[in-house]
């Protein structure tokens, strides 16, 4: 039996998504009423020590925010990137 390891692109995957919690007040999104203008908060996202910075280096971008996902003032930051090898 031959085992073939296909890449995500070969299996039809187009996007990788992840959620990165802000439970420890590591971004400028913490303890704010994000509901007032979600797109503006995405555009103005800032952090010095949040894991999102690592994901940015891997090519991820913020595609959404779920306000209060982890409790009042503790959002979830939704990130995504295109799978390499897919059409541009």
pLDDT (average), residues 54-69: 96
Q: How far is CA 5 from the centre of its chain?
A: 26
Tell me what pLDDT residue 81 has.
95
Strand order of the sheet with strand 61-66? 15-21, 76-82, 61-66
Q: How confident is the model at residue 59 (pLDDT cuts 50, 70, 90)?
A: very high
What's the pTM value of the predicted model, to 2 decimals?
0.80
> What distance in Å separates the CA atoms of residue 10 and residue 30, rounded to the nearest whole number?
39
> What distance in Å separates the CA atoms of residue 58 and residue 52, rounded to the nearest whole number?
10
CA max distance for the chain: 57
Burial class for 41, CB neighbours closer than 10 Å (0-12, 13-18, 19+):
buried
pLDDT value at 25 more than 60: yes
**Which domains are seen in the chain, by residue range?**
15-82 (3.40.630.30)
Tell me what pLDDT residue 14 has.
87
């Amino acid at each position: 039996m031959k085992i073939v390891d296909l890449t995500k692109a070969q299996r039809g995957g187009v996007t990788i998504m992840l959620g990165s919690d802000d439970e420890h007040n590591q971004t400028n999104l913490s303890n704010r009423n994000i509901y007032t203008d979600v797109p503006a908060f995405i555009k103005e996202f800032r952090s010095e020590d949040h894991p999102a910075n690592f994901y940015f280096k891997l090519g991820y971008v913020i595609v959404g925010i779920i306000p209060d996902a982890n409790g009042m003032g503790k959002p979830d930051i939704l990130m995504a990137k295109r799978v390499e090898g897919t059409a541009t």
